[in-house]
Amino acid sequence: MGVTDEQINYLEDMANHIREDVIKMLVEAGSGHSAGALGTADIFATLYFHVMKHDPKNPDWEERDRFVLSNAHICPVLYATLAEAGYFPKEEIMTLRKLGSRLQGHPHRGTLPGLEASGGPLAQGISIAAGMAVAGKMDGKRSKLYCMVGDGEMNEGQIWEALMFIGKNRLHNFTLIIDRNNIQIDGFTEEVMPLEPLKDKLESFNFHVIDTGGHNIRTLIEAFEEAEAIFEKPTVLLTHTIPGKGVDFMEFKPEWHGKPPNKEEARKALAELRSLGGKITCEHE
């Protein structure tokens, strides 16, 4: 299907609004993960405002597409997206990580509309998502299952067990999104535990692999449309993202993996994001 320039501009602006909300949430909380949340905002905007079938007014709609965040520590970007979509009042995002808040440091299913799974222990999300995809296939549902994992998370053996299961069962209703930002808490992924040649490995697990940039909205839409057209096997979007995208002093720096900005850093970050508006573009096509 075609996509207009107006739609692209809207999604770019939405991604930037999500980034601004992430910064506001993190500085208010005084803790949390900056780099991955900022780096995946374009993906979340594309998913929730163009690709997925879902209804914020009826979050338990049986025919909805489902999204599971396996690298659950980047949940500020998911919370900001759900709030923008109308799942809960936007002012509630400022309660991130507060005592008694519905917006905890990792998602907790059952407390907040739109959350399909609880998160925390790395790699468990992909297994939960695989089970949901199997159930959907058994029930004859036409809905899709989307799951995001981080590349550092792929150090976990459970990821590869899940990939074997998903590939073996040819879950064509399952689309995996890998946030390939090349950083994790201990440094750069290729220094901590090399993943390359990652595309070849994924193909050997019977996945259709779409190697794409994670910041070009039009390219992302094309990738998701290609994934929807694949019926003989599951698909993975190997999305190359820039950690800390949109904030110059955070980009490509592993130390921002699990660190929030202080008040002065947040002021600078918000000023930079507001100057960019909807014009964040992609270096990787």
Residue 278, pLDDT > 70, answer no
Q: Does 185 have pLDDT greater than 60?
A: yes
pLDDT digits (tens, 9 = 90+) for 44-101: 999 999 999 999 999 999 999 999 999 999 999 999 999 999 999 999 999 999 999 9
Average pLDDT over residues 135-153: 96
Q: How confident is residue 134, by pLDDT bands cut at 50, 70 and 90?
A: very high
Mean pLDDT of 154-170: 97
Hey, is 211 helix, strand or coil? strand
Tens digit of each residue's pLDDT (9 = 90 or more) over 206-239: 999 999 999 999 999 999 999 999 999 999 999 9
What rounded mean pLDDT belongs to the chain? 95
Report the pLDDT averaged over residues 147-155.
98
Does the pLDDT of residue 284 top 80, yes or no?
no
What is the per-residue pLDDT for 277? 67
Beta bridge partners of 175: 146, 235
Integer Cα distance of 246 and 63 in angstroms: 35
Cα–Cα distance, 261 to 259 (Å, whole number): 7
Mean pLDDT of 236-243: 98
Residue 276's pLDDT is: 80
Asked whether 233 and 259 are in contact (CB, 8 A), the reply is no
Quick one: pLDDT at residue 148?
98
pLDDT at 1 over 70: no
pLDDT at 14 over 80: yes
The pTM of the whole model exceeds 0.85: yes
Quote the pLDDT of residue 86: 98
In the chain, what are the domains?
5-276 (3.40.50.970)
DSSP one-letter string for 125-174: HHHHHHHHHHHHHHTT----EEEEEETGGGGSHHHHHHHHHHHHTT-TTE
